[in-house]
């Protein structure tokens, strides 16, 4: 199987979703020169290296692939570099889209630019010496994050204390899916975490070369809170964020009441991250009431999610072991179980799955049992369902 590299774009960031290791090894991007800016987007490229063996000399060359922002929004520039490859061996890099050859460029001075403004899509990169392949063809797919990917990536970057990356991904998603409240909640929490964890934020700023003072960060968070309230009304994440900025701004009874509202599981996960950073503050600045409410809200609801997941897993295992049902019938029963998970019957559940109903759907197929219907699903359970179905097929 040919290696596949999956990249996603967010503003001027090129971020990896899947790297075909160990054939290709991702490399850290060089730090940008510092400039104080409150509005410009950070810029980063994806870089990875691999080893190739020259057919004639049996000499090993290190090849670096760099994919960065292109000349147009959402496009990419693709470069291949090697300090040891020279054009005497008739080395060429080729770029395909499907079977269409888009570029065939010889190495010159150890590098080759395959394209400077490649639009989103699926491409194949091949490297040859004297027309003989010296590297397995690399399939590269890149484009913007879809909504489930953006929510998952935002949570992942926040857990890694990579707040600038998270904010860029979530801001881009909020522009592309403006009616999605989960994206806005995560943006609010990302900015709140940046103010609560200044050391990690400043370290990341130094890598991107985009510097903001604390007053800039706090001011941006206040603007975000105001725009969120105007568009989506009073949200749990926003109330907790406002309270973390100024405990006198939100009375205890207000945060106690808002803590009873529904929040999606991805927002609850990030609230748990926020609680850890707020708890690490000096004792004199800790807001014990807020910490207690966030802790209770997150712990109780995620425990409820775990219980439902265990019940779902047990139900699916029971369906799989039912020898009286065919594959179509089993698939339908699992769909029904997933529907019940998405809509818990208990009014005390106070959580929901992430709001991306239009992006995890299966077409209305016609099966022998007539059970394949369109439904919304969170990415994690579509993945679970696919794995189970593959096991049956194998």
Domain-wise residue ranges, the chain: 4-143, 147-303, 306-393
How far apart CA 239 and CA 149 sit, in angstroms, is 26
What would the DSSP string read from start to end of 235-279?
-HHHHHHHHHH-TTTS-HHHHHHHTTS-EEHHHHHHHHHHHHHHH
Query: Minimal CA–CA distance to 244: which of 184, 294, 182, 300?
Result: 294
Give pTM, 2 decimals. Answer: 0.78
* Matching residue, tokens 């990896």: 16
Mean pLDDT of 292-318: 84
| Helix (H) or strand (E) segment spanning residue 308 | helix 288-320
Q: Which of 75-84, 128-137, 156-165 has the highest mean pLDDT?
A: 156-165
Determine the number of helices (DSSP H) and then strands (DSSP E) in the chain: 11, 16
Neighbours of 337 (CB within 10 A): 20
What is the chain's mean pLDDT, rounded? 81
Decide: residue 249, CB within 10 A, 0-12 exposed, 13-18 middle, 19+ buried. exposed
Confidence band, pLDDT 50/70/90 cuts, at residue 350: low
Q: What is the DSSP letter of 285?
A: G
Please report the pLDDT score of residue 262 as a whole number.
83
Please report the pLDDT score of residue 74 as a whole number.
82
Query: Minimal CA–CA distance to 247: which of 287, 206, 281?
Result: 287
Mean pLDDT of 349-362: 45
Confidence band, pLDDT 50/70/90 cuts, at residue 366: very low
**pLDDT higher than 50, residue 261:** yes
Please report the pLDDT score of residue 354 as a whole number.
57
Model confidence pLDDT, tens digit, residues 38-92: 445 678 899 999 999 888 778 888 999 999 998 888 889 999 998 888 765 588 8
**pLDDT higher than 80, residue 225:** yes
Please state the φ and ψ torsions of residue 360, each to the nearest 5 degrees: -135, 60
Contact in structure between 55 and 38 (CB atoms under 8 Å): no
Q: Which of 27-41, 306-320, 368-382 has the highest mean pLDDT?
A: 306-320
Please report the pLDDT score of residue 372 as a whole number.
28
Identify whether 22 is preceded by a cis peptide bond (ω within 30 of 0): yes
Query: Minimal CA–CA distance to 243: which of 290, 181, 291, 191?
Result: 290
Please report the pLDDT score of residue 376 as a whole number.
35
Which CATH class, in words, describes the domain spanning 4-143?
mainly beta
Please report the pLDDT score of residue 8 as a whole number.
95
Which regions of 4-45 does DSSP assign to beta strands (E)? 4-10, 13-18, 25-27, 35-36
Please state the φ and ψ torsions of residue 27, each to the nearest 5 degrees: -115, 145
Contact in structure between 49 and 127 (CB atoms under 8 Å): no
Among 18-22, 69-73, 118-122, 194-198, which is the least confidently predicted range?
A: 69-73
Neighbours of 295 (CB within 10 A): 16
Among 22-36, 147-161, 255-269, 323-337, which is the least confidently predicted range?
A: 22-36
Query: Minimal CA–CA distance to 24: which of 79, 74, 63, 54?
Result: 63
Residue 359: CB partners within 8 Å, gap ≥ 6? 146, 147, 148
Please report the pLDDT score of residue 367 as a whole number.
31
**pLDDT higher than 70, residue 351:** no
Instruction: Name the 3-class secondary structure at 124.
Output: strand
Token pair in block for residue 369: 């049992």
Please report the pLDDT score of residue 249 as a whole number.
86
Please report the pLDDT score of residue 317 as a whole number.
86
| CATH classification number, 147-303, choose in 1.25.40, 1.10.3470, 1.10.287, 1.10.10 | 1.25.40
Contact in structure between 99 and 138 (CB atoms under 8 Å): no
Contact in structure between 271 and 193 (CB atoms under 8 Å): no
Please report the pLDDT score of residue 284 as a whole number.
66
**pLDDT higher than 80, residue 303:** yes
**pLDDT higher than 50, residue 287:** yes
Confidence band, pLDDT 50/70/90 cuts, at residue 309: confident
Instruction: Name the 3-class secondary structure at 76.
Output: strand
More confident residue, 79 or 107: 79
Confidence band, pLDDT 50/70/90 cuts, at residue 299: confident
| 131 torsion bin: left (phi>0), alpha (psi -120 to 50), beta (else) | left
How far apart CA 82 and CA 112 sit, in angstroms, is 9
**pLDDT higher than 80, residue 338:** no
């Amino acid at each position: 199987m040919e290696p596949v590299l999956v990249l996603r774009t967010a503003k001027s960031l090129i971020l990896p979703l899947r790297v075909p290791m160990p054939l290709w090894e991702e490399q850290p991007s060089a730090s940008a020169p510092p400039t104080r800016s409150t509005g410009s987007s950070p810029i980063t490229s994806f870089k990875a290296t691999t080893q190739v063996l020259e057919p004639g000399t049996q000499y090993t060359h290190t090849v670096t692939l760099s994919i960065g922002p292109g000349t147009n929004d959402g496009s990419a520039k693709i470069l291949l570099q090697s300090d040891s490859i020279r054009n005497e061996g008739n080395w060429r890099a080729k770029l395909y889209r499907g079977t269409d050859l888009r570029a065939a460029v010889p190495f010159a001075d150890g590098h080759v630019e395959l394209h400077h403004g490649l639009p989103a899509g699926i491409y194949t990169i091949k490297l040859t010496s004297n027309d003989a392949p010296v590297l397995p063809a690399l399939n590269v797919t890149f484009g913007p994050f879809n909504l489930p990917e953006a929510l998952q990536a935002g949570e992942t970057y926040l857990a890694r204390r990579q707040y600038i990356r998270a904010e860029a991904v979530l801001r881009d998603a909020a522009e592309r899916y403006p009616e999605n409240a989960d994206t806005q909640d995560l943006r609010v929490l990302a900015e709140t975490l940046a103010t609560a964890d200044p050391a990690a934020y400043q370290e990341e700023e130094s890598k991107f070369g985009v510097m903001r003072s604390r007053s800039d960060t706090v001011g941006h968070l206040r603007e975000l809170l105001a725009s969120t309230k105007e568009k989506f009304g009073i949200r749990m994440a926003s109330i907790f964020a406002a309270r973390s900025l100024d405990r006198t701004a939100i009375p205890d009874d207000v945060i106690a009441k808002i803590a009873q509202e529904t929040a999606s599981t991805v927002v609850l996960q990030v609230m748990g991250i926020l609680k850890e950073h707020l708890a690490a503050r000096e004792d004199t600045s800790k807001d014990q009431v807020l910490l207690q409410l966030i802790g209770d809200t997150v712990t109780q609801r995620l425990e409820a999610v775990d219980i439902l997941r265990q019940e779902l897993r047990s139900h699916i295992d029971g369906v799989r072991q039912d020898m009286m049902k065919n594959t179509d019938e089993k698939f339908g029963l699992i769909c029904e179980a997933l529907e019940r998970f998405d809509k818990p019957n208990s009014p005390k559940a106070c959580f929901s799955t992430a709001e991306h109903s239009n992006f995890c759907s299966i077409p209305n197929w016609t099966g022998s049992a007539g059970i394949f219907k369109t439904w919304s699903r969170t990415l994690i359970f579509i993945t679970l369902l696919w794995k189970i179905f593959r096991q049956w097929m194998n």
